Amino acid sequence: MAEVAGRRARVGVMGGTFDPIHNGHLVAASEVQQKFDLDEVIFVPTGMPWMKSDSVVTEGEHRYLMTVIATAANPRFTVSRVDIDRTGPTYTIDTLRDIHAARPNADIFFISGADAIAQILDWKDVEQVWPLAHFVAVTRPGHPLTISGLPEQGVSLLEVPALAISSTDCRNRVSRGFPVWYLVPDGVVQYISKHHLYRSI
Ligand SMILES: Nc1ncnc2c1ncn2[C@@H]1O[C@H](COP(=O)(O)OP(=O)(O)OP(=O)(O)O)[C@@H](O)[C@H]1O
Ligand SMILES: O=C(O)c1ccc[n+]([C@@H]2O[C@H](COP(=O)([O-])O)[C@@H](O)[C@H]2O)c1
């Protein structure tokens, strides 16, 4: 997707562990797609999320497939394997370089929730990240949205419908036998059940 109707393509990148992907992720991506007039939003499941190294993360292939299932119905949503196919810890600098190589003429918008943006100054080589993408920081219940210390030109704030959903809560619900219907897409509920994910027994 080099150019769309005579203008540069506008591509969103929604990175996440997606363990599992839930409706909070999907609403955030959909809102940013519409407000920023994006041609495509690429969901990028992380390979090894180094900032979550003290938690057990589900195998990348399961997280990738749940992301494919969750996004399949939206013609503007796609999923990339760049992070799960790269060995070693996942760094956004590598994600953005890979997406740039695949879409050399596109303007990239990296979508991030309030909790993730709060940690961004600790990301690897963050100074080299800013020129590669414009960051869109979205609101998330329970997480104050501040961008102090971040380059003004490089970050936009966007209020999105508040969905107090987290992957942690979805995993905990499944492990206690509680439903996750309507918190995650139906196909993801069925995938979790079929593959016995997040069960404690
Ligand atoms: N409910 C939500 N509303 C807005 N943004 C969200 C929401 N949930 C996650 N995000 C954002 O989506 C991205 C990926 O999040 P991630 O996959 O870590 O989900 P999570 O629910 O935070 O997971 P976990 O509970 O396992 O930490 C991050 O930028 C995060 O801030
Ligand atoms: O580049 C880094 O050092 C870095 C550190 C932590 C998180 N990230 C990215 O931020 C996105 C959200 O991560 P997470 O852990 O909240 O799912 C995802 O794309 C991660 O790869 C990136």
Per-residue pLDDT tens digits for 124-148: 999 999 999 999 999 999 999 988 8
Residues with CB under 6 A from ligand 2: 15-17, 44, 46, 49, 51-52, 90-93, 116, 123-124
Non-local CB neighbours of 80 within 8 Å, separated by 6+ positions: 42, 43, 44, 98, 99, 102
Whether residue 91 contacts residue 124, with contact meaning beta carbons closer than 8 Å, is answered with: yes
Q: How far, in Å, is the centroid of ligand 1 from the Cα of 15?
A: 9
Q: What is the pTM of this model?
A: 0.97
Query: Is the distance from the beta carbon of residue 168 to the nearest atom of ligand 1 less than 6 Å?
Result: yes
Tell me: ipTM over 0.95. yes
